[in-house]
């Protein structure tokens, strides 16, 4: 029986732009598909707009403080310079990575965070996950207990893949029994053993970055969470895994959670998100419909 083919927004866009060269879709079909995608997206956004908020980010400021920076090359030089100048504490350099960001995310929303390298996307996610303390005068409020294991959550390099799956599940709030029950599903989803049948018994430091990203994604996506955060996972795996993870993101979104995706792949953002927030130099430049924001960002990026 022929499987119904899912056409994704990025495929339609590529076809519209003629990037794919050959495609089996006529112009009329493209127009109809595009209209359908836009209609579905508008419907989902309208529904989500009345849902309760899951994350409220209010005037969020994050400053990294780098101790010992700017005191000379290397810590020994810094230490010597401090002894000579009789300073007791090393110089602290501040990086104001997120500058007064505010937005509200609701159930059922899938939000792409886009922007150049170093613009503050991962820092914003880490702050939502409660991993970085906001400066005074603002903060992040999440619905209920934020059991957020984003794809950026650190797995432990010295532990085996197997142990990391269990620890990751426990960190997401599962019981030991639930973690054990979820184990095989996570390993199967990750398809890690396709690459190496012994992968799960190897320490994570022996994994390629793609393998590690797959396992992180599989752990994070194994549980229906209120807020799922995915940092760059979609750009790391191979094409098959990308498709599979995009599918899972759509399922999670449909189960009324909130999904945040950080990616430099505008195709992945368009396919998985309805809304996008463009961050530049720690500030929000644009927040709205994914196509409008991604178009503006791509236009701006082209101008250099």
Ligand X SMILES: Nc1ncnc2c1ncn2[C@@H]1O[C@H](COP(=O)(O)OP(=O)(O)OP(=O)(O)O)[C@@H](O)[C@H]1O
- Binding-site ranges for ligand X (CB under 6 A): 64, 66, 95, 97, 115, 117-123
> With respect to ligand X, which residue has the nearer C-beta, 23 or 283?
283
Residue 272 buriedness (CB in 10 A; 0-12 / 13-18 / 19+): buried
Beta carbon nearer to ligand X, 127 or 227:
127
**Are residues 235 and 209 in contact, defined by beta-carbon separation less than 8 angstroms?**
no
Which of 121, 270 has the CB closer to ligand X? Answer: 121
By CB atoms closer than 10 A (0-12, 13-18, 19+), residue 133 is exposed
Widest CA span of the chain, in angstroms? 79
The span from the CA of 246 to the CA of 90, in Å, is 46
Give the shortest CB-97-to-ligand X separation in angstroms: 3
Is the Cβ of residue 63 or residue 171 nearer to ligand X in the bound state? 63
Closest distance to ligand X from the beta carbon of 131 (Å): 11
Closest CB to ligand X among residues 123, 242: 123
| Closest distance to ligand X from the beta carbon of 127 (Å) | 9
Give the residue with the Cβ less far from ligand X, 37 or 279: 279
The answer to whether the beta carbons of residues 50 and 123 sit under 8 Å apart is no
To ligand X, the closest distance from the beta carbon of 180 in angstroms equals 34
Of 93 and 180, nearer to ligand X (C-beta) is: 93
Q: How far is the CB of 129 from ligand X (least distance, A)?
A: 13
Shortest distance, position 152 Cβ to ligand X, whole Å: 9
Burial 178-217 (b: 16+ CB within 10 A, else e): ebeebbeebbebbbbeeeeeebbeeebeebeebbbbbbbb
Question: Closer to ligand X at the Cβ: 117 or 209?
Answer: 117
CB of 232 to ligand X, least distance (A): 7
């Amino acid at each position: 029986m022929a499987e119904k083919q899912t056409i994704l927004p990025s495929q339609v866009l590529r076809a519209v732009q003629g990037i794919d060269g050959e495609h089996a879709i006529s112009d009329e079909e493209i127009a109809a598909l595009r209209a359908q995608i836009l209609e579905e997206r508008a419907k989902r956004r309208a529904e989500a707009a009345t849902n309760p908020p899951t994350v409220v980010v209010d005037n969020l400021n994050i400053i990294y403080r780098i101790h010992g920076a700017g005191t000379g090359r290397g810590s020994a030089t810094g230490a010597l310079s401090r002894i000579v100048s009789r300073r007791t504490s090393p110089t602290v350099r501040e990086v104001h990575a997120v500058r007064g960001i505010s937005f509200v995310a609701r159930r059922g929303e899938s939000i792409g965070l886009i922007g150049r390298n170093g613009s503050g996307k991962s820092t914003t996610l880490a702050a939502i996950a409660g991993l970085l303390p906001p400066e005074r005068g603002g903060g992040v409020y999440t619905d209920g207990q934020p059991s957020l294991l984003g794809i950026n959550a650190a797995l432990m390099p010295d532990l085996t893949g197997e142990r990391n799956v269990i620890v990751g599940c426990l960190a997401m709030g599962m019981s030991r029994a639930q973690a054990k029950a979820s184990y095989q599903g996570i390993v199967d989803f990750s398809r890690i053993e396709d690459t190496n049948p012994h992968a799960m018994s190897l320490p994570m430091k022996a994994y390629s970055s793609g393998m590690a990203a797959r396992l992180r994604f599989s752990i994070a996506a194994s549980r229906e969470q209120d807020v799922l955060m995915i940092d760059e996972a979609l750009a790391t795996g191979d094409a098959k895994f990308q498709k599979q993870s995009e599918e899972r993101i759509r399922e999670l979104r449909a189960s009324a959670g909130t999904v945040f995706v950080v990616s430099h792949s505008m195709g992945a953002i368009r396919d998985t998100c309805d809304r996008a927030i463009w961050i530049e130099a720690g500030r929000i430049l644009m927040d709205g419909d994914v196509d409008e924001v991604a178009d503006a960002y791509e236009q701006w990026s082209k101008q250099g």
